[in-house]
Amino acid sequence: MQTVKDEVADLLKRLPDNCTLEDIQYHLYVIQKIERGLKDEEEGRIYEEKEIVRPFLF
C-alpha cells in the first residue's frame, strides 16, 4: 500500500515538467474525489440514477 507521499511523488513523475501549481492542485483534487467516491461505494453510500433525478422531475 502506497503512502500519500508516494502517491504524490508518482503523480509528479507523470506530469510534464512545465506543469503549473494549479495543474498539480487539480490532479490532487481529482484523485481525492475519486478515492472518496470509491470509499463511499465500499461503505454502501451510493444512489441509483432514478433517486438522483427524481427531485428534478416536475
**pLDDT score at 58:** 62
Residue with cell 510534464: 16
For the entire predicted model, the pTM comes to: 0.74
**pLDDT score at 13:** 98
**pLDDT score at 19:** 97
Q: What are phi and psi of 30, to 5 degrees?
A: -65, -45
Distances (CA, A) of 14 to 28, 37, 39, 41, 56: 12, 23, 24, 27, 40
Tens-place pLDDT, residues 2-58: 899 999 999 999 999 999 999 999 999 999 999 999 999 999 999 888 888 876 776
d(C-alpha 4, C-alpha 8), whole Å: 6
